[in-house]
Amino acid sequence: MSIIPIGPFMMRADIVIFLICAAAGFAALRIRLRQTPQREWILDTYLSVLIIGFISWKFGMLVFDPIRTIQHPASLIYMTGGTKGIWLGAVLALVYAALRWNKKRENSGLLLKSALLSAFAGGWAGYVFQWLWADGAAVNSSLFYMLLFGILLTMSWLQFHSPLSRFLTLGLGRNGAVLLIMGALFVWVIYDFAFTSGSEREANISPNVEGNPETIAEGLKPGLRAPDFSLMNREGQEVKLSDYRGKTVLLNFWASWCPPCKVEMPYMQDFYDKYQDENVIILAVNMTHLENSMSEVQSFVEKNGLTFPVLYDQSGASTRRYEVVAYPTTYVVKPDGVISERFQGAIDEDLMVRAYRKASDK
């Protein structure tokens, strides 16, 4: 989960991408449906589907984890319903679209063509953004999808007023193979978006160097060796990141005044309570140099009943070394000391479990 700086504000990357795709799809329909009598009906359906899907995804925690959401209502601001929320939003949006279609079945062909055109436009815009935002090997992956969706958008745009059978094959004729390829493409894109987070994509294309981890270059991207550091814990003992070599480490940078940190900590404690007997540890680095007083930090730790190791970065050196610009930030470090993923912003227990299992190859 990445955070994108927009002026002085920080926004979740998945929400930014959703808004970009939604705007692109709406713009494509608004232009292509010009002078079409059903234009307003289609646009109204499109916006309603997007709103239903977004709200279901963003606030899906109320459905899937109601008790903890009520206990920590601020989680509705900083978290989403995750993968389950995506599927919930998709199902509810499809149900709504089906009800709208049932009232005007004579426009079913136009509705389907509009849905595909907006999907191609949104997919193209989303991958253009990722291509501009990405670096390294991620550029090649985003460029491939950008070109693919660009071709699909162009062909569907040109064939939009053709009969439905011709439109569905993008003018290539009634070829079952074309329909099969189109269907497989949609399934893959949905699966890739729903089950692969932004940080996981970054990890999958990062350098993968086999051999002794000590020979791997040190850095902050997935696939590189996490920089070592030494800080004091609550007992005044010196602790190093390398002391936990052999364990999966969730290295979390936080502050007691940070609203999303307050939301995230109970989930971290729940995760630690369940998995502390396994080969995983949470290493919580308090950005002490940004705190008002040490007493506030200690009060926060006691109030939340934190039992995992808490370290104090009083000089801010480790925070700067790990280039922490969004609070909280969590690095997932594999047992060999290599970074598996990075999350900017609050994460819930489900995401912690998935990150831990991925880093531990479980």
How far, rounded to the nearest angstrom, does the alpha carbon of residue 224 sit from its chain's CA centroid? 21
Q: How far is CA 119 from CA 44, 153, 195, 231, 357, in A?
A: 16, 9, 19, 49, 33
What residues pair up with 225 in beta bridges, in sequence order?
A: 218, 338
Asked whether 23 and 125 are in contact (CB, 8 A), the reply is: yes
Structure tokens at 24: 């692109």
Helix (H) or strand (E) holding 9: strand 9-12
Using only C-alpha atoms, what is the Rg of the chain? Answer: 23
Tell how strand 9-12 and strand 3-6 pair up. antiparallel
Per-residue model confidence (pLDDT) at position 200: 47
Q: Is 7 left (phi over 0), alpha (psi -120 to 50) or beta?
A: left
Structure tokens at 357: 């299992």
Per-residue model confidence (pLDDT) at position 323: 92
Full 3-state SS string of 73-86:
CCHHHHCCCHHHHH
Asked whether 345 and 328 are in contact (CB, 8 A), the reply is: yes
Per-residue model confidence (pLDDT) at position 209: 46
Residue with tokens 């930030």: 329
Per-residue model confidence (pLDDT) at position 171: 67
Per-residue model confidence (pLDDT) at position 253: 97
Single-letter amino acid, residue 48: S
Helix (H) or strand (E) holding 151: helix 138-158
Asked whether 291 and 261 are in contact (CB, 8 A), the reply is: no
Please tell me the pTM assigned to this model: 0.77
Q: What is the mean pLDDT of each run of 10 residues along the chain (362 residues)?
A: 62 86 96 92 94 94 87 84 88 92 82 92 91 65 84 90 80 60 64 52 45 75 92 93 94 94 92 92 96 93 94 95 92 94 88 90 70
Q: How far apart are CA 3 and CA 7, in angstroms?
A: 12
Residue 58 burial (CB count, 10 A) = 19
Q: How far apart are CA 107 and CA 103, in angstroms?
A: 9
